Amino acid sequence: MADEETVNGSSEELPEKSQKKTAKYDSAAADLEKVTDYAEEKEISTQNVAGAISAIGDRRNKEALEKQAREKELLKVSIKKEDVDLIVREMEISRTMAERTLREYHGNVVNALVALTN
């Protein structure tokens, strides 16, 4: 019977050892999974940042082009030198500011003066 106990004892110890090995393996697999998840999240966040930066750059370029187009349109508006002098003298602002405001209001002195007083 002592032989049976040894055999039974050995057989009982073998499953415990294999369970410990399986538990260690599962733990290592879980750790590896965490590492790969972190790497994937890092890649995704890097792509998101790059996409956001690209979108911001595109929007700035678009706004700059729109501003250039607006400036070209304003330069096409004809204004009188006397009107600019009047605005500079009355409002005490720079000549460029007076010209720009007058152009924005299509050469209408009254509307330009009203806008500057508000």
Query: Cα(62)–Cα(45) distance, rounded to whole angstroms?
Result: 26
Residues 51, 100 within the same domain: no
Residues 70, 115 within the same domain: no
What's the whole-model pTM score? 0.48
Residues 2, 28 within the same domain: yes
Residues 104, 57 within the same domain: no
Residues 38, 90 within the same domain: no
DSSP secondary structure code for residue 8 in this structure: H
Residue 74 class from Cβ within 10 Å (0-12 exposed, 13-18 middle, 19+ buried)?
middle
- Under 8 Å between Cβ of 88 and 98: yes
14-42: average pLDDT: 61
Residues 61, 86 within the same domain: no
83-107: average pLDDT: 92
Residues 13, 49 within the same domain: yes
Residues 61, 118 within the same domain: no
Query: Cα(71)–Cα(100) distance, rounded to whole angstroms?
Result: 9
Q: Tens of pLDDT along 51-82?
A: 888 899 999 999 999 999 988 988 888 899 99
Query: Cα(113)–Cα(107) distance, rounded to whole angstroms?
Result: 11
Residues 58, 97 within the same domain: no
Residues 81, 71 within the same domain: no
Range of the domain at 114: 77-118
For the chain, the domain total comes to 2
Residues 10, 60 within the same domain: yes
Site of tokens 């009982």: 12
Return the C-alpha torsion angle 42, 44, 49, 54, nearest 10: 140
